[in-house]
């Protein structure tokens, strides 16, 4: 019997509501990341809350312009990060964002004057 090689993939596309606006953070390595949180409605009942992280300057700049309640689309890969936290290890599962865009501004977004 011959086994068929199946290529592994780690691709994620999410569209959801921004519930925690983007914030920059400098890691101990000196790298800057920008993180935000979106809520994605499930089919039927419930929601999933997903943390997203951008590593590129372009994504960091654009995500910092979004406001709570905006609908955004993100594409990327699931990552699990580990770090030392006091006497133990901490971990988080998040989306490492490769591309993102605001799909729809929040209805509560203030209108620009002029």
Is 60:73 a contact under the CB 8 Å cutoff? no
Task: Write down the pLDDT at residue 86.
Answer: 81
Cα separation, 102 vs 90, in Å, equals: 31
The 8-class DSSP code of residue 1 comes to: -
pLDDT in single tens digits along all 114 residues of the chain: 567 888 999 999 999 999 999 999 998 889 999 999 999 999 988 999 999 999 999 999 999 999 999 999 999 999 998 877 788 888 889 999 999 999 998 876 555 544
In this prediction the pTM is 0.81
110: Cβ–Cβ under 8 A, 6 or more apart, which residues? none
Domain 12-104 adopts which CATH fold? OB fold (Dihydrolipoamide Acetyltransferase, E2P) (2.40.50)
Task: Write down the pLDDT at residue 109.
Answer: 54
Cα separation, 78 vs 96, in Å, equals: 6
């Amino acid at each position: 019997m011959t086994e068929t090689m199946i290529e592994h993939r780690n691709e994620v596309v999410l569209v959801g509501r921004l519930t925690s606006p983007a914030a920059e953070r400098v890691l101990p390595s000196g790298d800057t990341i920008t993180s935000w949180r979106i809520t994605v409605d499930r089919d039927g009942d419930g929601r999933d809350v997903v943390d997203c992280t951008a590593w590129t300057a372009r994504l960091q700049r654009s995500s910092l312009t979004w406001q709570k309640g905006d609908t955004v689309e993100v594409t990327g890969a699931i990552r699990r990060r580990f770090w030392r936290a006091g006497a133990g290890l901490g971990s988080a599962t998040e989306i490492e964002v490769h591309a993102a865009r605001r799909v729809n501004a929040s209805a509560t977004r203030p209108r620009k004057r002029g």
